């Protein structure tokens, strides 16, 4: 059971772009190297740290709580540039990633000589941006840490930095934002050297951490300018340069109280899930904006609250669901969130800005069962329960918001093993198996051992497209 005060800046809404935009020159694709290398995978080890921000959720007379921090969620989408060459290696590359209680971060170094900083790993966005040394910090709340706290990049101190003179800008639904300049430089990620990776350097930010977006290229901010265009972001660049065989990755966040998790670029670990790995299509949640999917969303057919005595359905018709590592909690349209609260015996508290109820007993085996096209992922109710400062009273890790899809963040992802196949526009899901054993297989053409879910062809369509 998680103990925290309130999600700190890089939570659900901090990474749900409301109206991002950006600018960069149109460029061609990177040349594919002449020398073929054996397809492999790149493994990132996650190191989870719980001590830094561990506080009890306190009541707020103003009703700010989570609702205040995340009051402006009205959208589910987030919306550089020269090419680079990767220094290829003959063995898997690993680097550490920490769970900063409300987000997963990666330690990277940028430039020559190298400058260290921490960025947030995010499946819900697609651009890399870092905090510049001359950044103007604009905290949204007085409790926000300075935007320089996790490291900055001084472009003047790097002899390999090449700015392209175009501006980068992104704004999020909670009013946080970053603005700066596009360019390229050397990026090191624990032994993996990327020469000239395109990214942005923020000179103004209302966020205390940069973002390492690894989503679909259609979500890059360069698609929001005229003329729209995309570029090779980190996972696509790994594929183009022969480091991995496919633009894909597998996310294993492990148990909340575990020290480690991992993400595999170009690979799947068969020891990290139980049962069948079932595949569903990535869906287009905004066909008016794009003819192809831009976010890593799938069809969620239902959520059932299961106890030893009975089962209560809380979603009676399919909706879209974004699987987002950059989000802490889970978000549902208000009608669905209210139904889920009723099912679990919770009620909305203006004082806490969240749904609250009596904390589950230690032997409570109740679960929230998420149905993805016939594939059931069971999440213990304990994972969705957060202690408050009131003894015996818990807040719940799902929230109402103004969108029309669900947003499933870390409280859901900790119970699932998720394989994102960006080449095939598919996501394979299974229940997580918490194990230190490994059986890693490269993803070359489709996810090995994965099968289509029973309801693969029955996808959710936005109301305005029916």
Q: How far apart are CA 425 and CA 427, in angstroms?
A: 7
What pLDDT does residue 144 have?
A: 65
Query: 270-465 belongs to which homologous superfamily?
Result: Acid Proteases (2.40.70.10)
Structure tokens of 167? 């501006």
What are the sequence ranges of the domains in the chain? 2-25+41-250, 270-465
Element (H, E) at 303: strand 302-306
- The length of the chain, given as a count of residues: 466
Backbone angles phi, psi at 378, to 5 degrees: -95, 125
Using a 10 angstrom Cβ sphere, with 0-12 exposed, 13-18 middle and 19 or more buried, the burial of residue 457 is exposed
| Phi, psi for residue 149 in degrees, rounded to 5 | -65, -30
In angstroms, the CA 143 to CA 250 distance is: 34
d(CA 151, CA 130): 9
DSSP 388-449: BSSTTEEEESEEEESSSSEEE-HHHHTTEEEEEETTTTEEEEEEE---S---EEE-SSS-TT
User: Per-residue pLDDT for the chain (466 aa), expressed as one digit of tens each?
Assistant: 433 333 333 322 333 333 333 333 333 333 333 334 466 899 887 655 443 333 334 554 433 344 333 333 333 333 222 222 222 223 344 444 444 445 778 889 999 999 999 888 889 999 999 999 999 998 766 666 788 989 999 999 999 999 999 999 988 666 778 999 999 999 998 778 888 789 999 999 988 789 999 999 999 998 888 888 899 999 999 999 888 999 999 999 988 777 677 889 999 999 999 999 999 999 999 998 899 999 999 999 999 999 988 888 888 889 999 999 888 889 999 999 999 999 999 999 998 889 999 999 989 999 999 999 999 999 999 999 988 888 999 999 899 999 999 999 989 999 999 999 999 999 999 999 999 999 999 999 999 999 999 999 999 999 766 5
Judge if 2-25+41-250 and 270-465 fold alike in CATH terms: yes
**Parallel, antiparallel, or unpaired: how do β-strands 347-349 and 393-396 relate?**
unpaired
Cβ–Cβ under 8 Å, residues 78 and 16: yes
Residues 6+ apart with CB under 8 A from 107: 95, 96, 97, 98, 116, 117, 118, 190
Q: Which of 324, 382, 383, 421 is catalytic?
A: 324
Query: Contacts for 167-170 with beta carbons within 8 Å, 24 or more apart?
Result: 167/22, 167/23, 168/22, 168/23, 168/24, 168/80, 168/127, 168/129, 168/200, 168/202, 168/221, 169/20, 169/21, 169/22, 169/221, 170/17, 170/20, 170/21, 170/22, 170/78, 170/79, 170/127, 170/129, 170/221
CATH of 2-25+41-250, one of 3.40.50.150, 2.60.120.10, 2.40.70.10, 3.40.50.300: 2.40.70.10
Query: Which two structure tokens, joined as six digits, stand for 132?
Result: 């510049």
Q: Has 122 been annotated as catalytic?
A: yes
Cβ atoms 221, 169 nearer than 8 A: yes
87 forms beta bridges with: 193
Catalytic residue, candidates 122, 185, 203, 269 = 122
What per-residue confidence (pLDDT) applies to 457? 97
Q: Which two tokens stand for residue 460?
A: 């959710």
Query: What local confidence, expressed as pLDDT, does residue 39 receive?
Result: 60
Q: At 347, list the tokens.
A: 């009620």
The confidence score (pLDDT) of residue 64 equals 39
Tell me how far apart the alpha carbons of residues 387 and 234 are, in angstroms, rounded to a whole number.
37
Q: Is the pTM of this model over 0.85?
A: no
């Amino acid at each position: 059971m998680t103990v925290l005060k309130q999600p700190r800046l890089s939570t659900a809404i901090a990474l749900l772009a409301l109206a991002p935009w950006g600018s960069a020159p149109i460029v061609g694709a990177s040349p594919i190297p002449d020398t073929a290398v054996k397809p492999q995978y790149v493994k990132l080890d996650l190191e989870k740290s719980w001590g830094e921000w561990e506080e009890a959720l306190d009541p707020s007379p103003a009703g700010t709580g989570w609702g205040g921090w995340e009051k402006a969620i009205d959208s589910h989408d987030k919306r550089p540039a020269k090419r680079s060459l990767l220094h290829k290696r003959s063995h898997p590359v690993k680097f550490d990633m920490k769970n900063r209680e409300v987000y997963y971060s990666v330690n990277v170094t940028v430039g020559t000589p190298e400058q260290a900083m921490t960025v947030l790993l995010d499946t819900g966005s697609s651009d890399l941006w870092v905090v510049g040394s001359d950044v103007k910090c604009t905290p949204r709340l007085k409790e926000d840490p300075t935007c320089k706290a996790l490291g900055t990049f001084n472009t003047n101190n790097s002899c390999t930095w090449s700015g392209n003179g175009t501006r980068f800008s992104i704004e999020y639904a909670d009013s946080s934002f970053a603005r700066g300049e596009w360019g390229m430089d050397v990026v090191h990620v624990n032994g993996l050297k990327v020469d000239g990776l395109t990214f942005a350097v923020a000179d103004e930010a209302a966020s205390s951490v940069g973002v390492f977006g690894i989503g679909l290229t259609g979500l890059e901010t360069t698609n929001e300018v005229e003329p729209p265009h995309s570029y090779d972001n980190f996972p696509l660049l790994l594929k183009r340069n022969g480091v991995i065989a496919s633009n894909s990755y597998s996310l294993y966040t492990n148990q909340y109280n575990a020290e480690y998790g991992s993400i595999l670029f170009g690979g799947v670990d068969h020891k990290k899930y139980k049962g069948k790995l079932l595949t569903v299509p990535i869906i287009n949640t905004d066909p008016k904006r794009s003819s192809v999917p831009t976010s890593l969303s799938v069809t969620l057919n239902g959520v059932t609250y299961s106890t030893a005595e009975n089962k209560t359905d809380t979603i009676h018709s399919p909706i879209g669901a974004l699987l987002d590592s950059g989000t802490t909690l889970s978000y549902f349209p208000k009608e669905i969130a209210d139904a889920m609260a009723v099912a679990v015996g919770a009620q909305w508290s203006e004082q806490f800005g969240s749904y609250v109820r009596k904390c589950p007993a230690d032997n409570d085996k109740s679960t929230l069962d998420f149905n993805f096209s016939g594939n059931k992922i069971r999440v213990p109710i304990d994972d969705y329960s957060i202690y408050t400062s009131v003894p015996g009273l818990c807040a719940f890790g799902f929230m109402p918001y103004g969108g029309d899809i669900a947003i499933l963040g870390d409280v859901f992802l900790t119970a699932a093993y998720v394989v994102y196949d960006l080449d095939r526009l598919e996501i394979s899901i299974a229940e997580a198996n918490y194990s230190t054993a490994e059986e890693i297989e490269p993803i070359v053409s489709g996810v090995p051992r994965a099968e289509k879910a029973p309801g693969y062809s029955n996808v959710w369509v936005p109301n305005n497209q029916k």
